[in-house]
Amino acid sequence: MLNGLALMLLINCASILKNVLAVSITTGLFLLQNRSVTQQQRGAANGISMSAMSLFKAIGPAAGGSLFSWAQKRQDAFFFPDI
């Protein structure tokens, strides 16, 4: 229902909040991971977690998109109607 400057400011605030949360989550997980393995294992743990993160970043939007388009086709269903 918004438009113009108000819409732009709201979208910007939402974007800033999203980025702050993403960086906080990433940093927090780095700290937890740093403490949870020994120094000799730190490189391997970091590599495994980076690979897993990239994999899920690639799969996430595709899986979400197909789920969304599937739900759009069954507007009157009992389960997942139109999401």
**What residue ranges bind ligand NAG (CB under 6 A)?**
31, 34-35
Which residue lies nearer to ligand NAG by CB, 26 or 34? 34
Cβ 40 to ligand NAG shortest distance, Å: 11
CA–CA dist 79, 52 (Å, integer): 30
Q: Which tokens go with 79?
A: 């389960």
Could you tell me if 41 and 47 are in contact, meaning their C-beta atoms sit under 8 angstroms apart? no
Which residue lies nearer to ligand NAG by CB, 33 or 71? 33
Could you tell me if 54 and 48 are in contact, meaning their C-beta atoms sit under 8 angstroms apart? no
CA–CA dist 72, 1 (Å, integer): 23
Cβ 36 to ligand NAG shortest distance, Å: 9
Which residue lies nearer to ligand NAG by CB, 28 or 60? 28
